[in-house]
Amino acid sequence: MERARPLDVPAIRKDFPILHQQIHGKPLVWLDNAATTQKPQSVIDALSQFYARDNSNIHRGAHTLAARSTDAFEQARQKVQTFLGAASAKEIILVRGSTEGINLVAQTYGRKFLQPGDEIVLSTLEHHANIVPWQMVAREKGAVLRVIPVTDRAEIMLEEYQAILGPRTRLVALAHASNSLGTILPVAEMTQMAHRYNARVLIDGAQSVPHMPVNVQQLGADFFVFSGHKVFGPTGIGVVYAKEELLEIMPPWQGGGSMIRNVTFEETTYADPPTKFEAGTPNVADAVGLGAALDYVDRLGRPAIAKYEQELLQYATGQLARINGLRLIGTAREKVGVLSCVLRDRPTEEVGRLLDLEGIAVRAGHHCAQPSLRRFGLEATVRPSLAFYNTRDEIDRLVDAVRRILRN
């Protein structure tokens, strides 16, 4: 197993130009990483260089820039394959983000294979992006959604999950880590349980890949999605991993250029995967940026990132738990760096605004995961969320600001 070497956080912070500014006269503390992460200079440079030197459409051009752009795009795909531990680059589809990725699977695999009465199993902890697409396809196909409950600590109730699984279970869709409460789901075990019923499993990795090592073959996932902007890369780029044998039998989703082999007015034959699922001009520049972001994360080392962030999470949890009038929501034993909380007699939006006046950026709202919060009788929480460039000093600033808010 790769050994975690300590992170040099002061040096890392120098790589992120956006962190070195003042908001309302106070140094910025970026604690909204579950919504989006900031970008290192190497990613910004990769984007700038692509547009300054290489910009071209890809795959069909006969000229040098087309060749360079094509190579850069396909190298990004290979970097994603390595990053996820996929068996082949053919198993990597480049899309706009996790949301588009889940919709792609729902509208291709789901529409082709779901039958009336089939069951789609989700957890209470899902992001809306892993609920709504399944509702849409279930309504169209006559399938049924089943929901796995969670404990008061926001941990999956595995016995209940086992009871839900059955011969009608066709697909299980799970967050690897909850964006609203931080819970890390035991997805390898849950995938194994689903496969006993020949169900397919989709894992939403948007909140896991930035924070821990992930290997899709070890997890056993049939489908895995993530978003570039959550892993220190650009917005507008994301990934669908799918097992090659599934991509072969799935119909295309969108039609257009690139995804075809031959077109006549009578009939179209489609290209092989992954091209079959990448209609139109792809987001070449942001794919290059994503590749640069994955290089950056790999240079730091995901075991080192996970170790540092867990230490920071434990420190932050301990500090916030001591504040009289603050209630932490979601206290799972296995968590990513998400700290959902509510303050006594203080609306969450007001807390978010007051923290912003202190230069502290957090999310305040339902986090596109309303069912997970309603399980705890809430419509909204304040959600500081951590990344490897955050520090204990920043946690202390958050704690001091929260104490002041509660006093006033």
Mean pLDDT for back-to-back runs of 10 residues, the chain (408 residues): 76 98 98 98 98 93 92 98 98 98 98 98 98 98 98 98 98 98 98 98 98 98 98 98 98 94 95 96 97 98 97 98 97 98 96 98 96 97 98 98 95
Question: 157 with 189: CB under 8 angstroms?
Answer: no
User: Which one of 242, 287, 368, 402 is the catalytic residue?
Assistant: 368
Integer CA distances (angstroms), 26 to 32, 354, 356, 394, 406, in order = 17, 13, 9, 12, 20
Three-state SS at 305: helix
**C-alpha to C-alpha distance for 366 and 301, rounded to whole angstroms:** 32
Per-residue confidence (pLDDT) for residue 348, from 0 to 100: 97
Helix H, strand E, coil C: the string for 148-175 is ECECCCCCECHHHHHHHCCCCEEEEEEE
Per-residue confidence (pLDDT) for residue 61, from 0 to 100: 73
- With residue 288 as reference, give the H or E element that holds it: helix 284-300
Per-residue confidence (pLDDT) for residue 59, from 0 to 100: 87
Closest CA to 112 of 220, 225, 253: 253
Question: 342 with 327: CB under 8 angstroms?
Answer: yes
**C-alpha to C-alpha distance for 277 and 111, rounded to whole angstroms:** 15
Per-residue confidence (pLDDT) for residue 1, from 0 to 100: 42
Residue at 314: amino acid letter: Q
Per-residue confidence (pLDDT) for residue 2, from 0 to 100: 47
Residue 341 annotated among the catalytic residues of the structure: no
